[in-house]
């Protein structure tokens, strides 16, 4: 697969539009592994972050996790609206509200399926970023 290139903050960034795995793929049911920035070249972190973000834009979703594209890493991207797309390496919920609310949610890995999911009214997340 030929890499695409994007001009971002004065640099040329390589990335790809990634393909979603089939919803029967076992990777969707396995725990993800933490991303170790010391194990990977910084360009690999950048490549993954931009590939996930650009794939999310193409798919039109609100969030995308690395395991949804066949990668076992604990990395996700979230569309934060006007704040842009955030990439979160090794996200952890460290605090949450008391109240649960029901939301109808869909998932890019299960197209057409929407279910009501209880979620806390707010959460606080700790994560690593590449910039």
Task: Supply the DSSP string of 45-105, one letter for each residue.
Answer: HHHHHHHHHHHHHHHT-SEEEGGGGT--BSEEEEE-GGG-EEEEEEEEEEEE-S-EEEEEE
Could you report the per-residue pLDDT of 31-46, keeping only the tens digit for each? 999 999 899 888 999 9
Q: What pLDDT, on the 0 to 100 scale, is given for residue 5?
A: 94
Reported as a pLDDT band with limits 50, 70 and 90, residue 131 is: low
| pLDDT tens-digit readout, 75-128 | 999 999 999 999 999 999 999 999 999 989 999 999 899 999 999 999 999 999
pLDDT of 1 reads 67
- The residue written with tokens 């604990």 in the block is 74
CA atoms within 13 A on the CB side of 8: 13
Distance CA 48, CA 71 (A): 10
Total count of residues recorded for the chain: 131
Residues 63-81 have a mean pLDDT of: 97
pLDDT value for 130:
84
In terms of pLDDT, which residue wins out, 61 or 131? 61
Pairing of strands 85-96, 123-128: antiparallel
Q: What pLDDT sits at residue 14?
A: 94
Instruction: Give the SS3 label for residue 12.
Output: strand
Q: What is the pLDDT of residue 103?
A: 87
Alpha-carbon span 22 to 7, nearest angstrom: 31
pTM, full prediction? 0.91
């Amino acid at each position: 697969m030929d890499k695409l290139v994007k001009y971002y903050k004065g640099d040329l960034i390589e990335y790809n539009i990634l393909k979603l795995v089939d919803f029967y793929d076992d990777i969707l049911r396995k725990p993800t592994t933490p991303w170790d920035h010391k194990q990977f070249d910084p360009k690999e972190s950048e490549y993954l972050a931009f590939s996930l973000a650009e794939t999310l834009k193409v798919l039109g979703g609100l969030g995308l996790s690395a395991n949804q594209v066949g990668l076992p890493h604990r990395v996700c991207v979230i569309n934060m609206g006007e704040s842009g797309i955030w990439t979160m390496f090794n996200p952890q919920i460290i605090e949450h509200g008391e109240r649960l609310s029901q939301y109808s949610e869909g998932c890019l890995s299960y197209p057409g399926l929407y279910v009501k999911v209880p979620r806390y009214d707010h959460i606080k997340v700790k994560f690593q970023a590449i910039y």
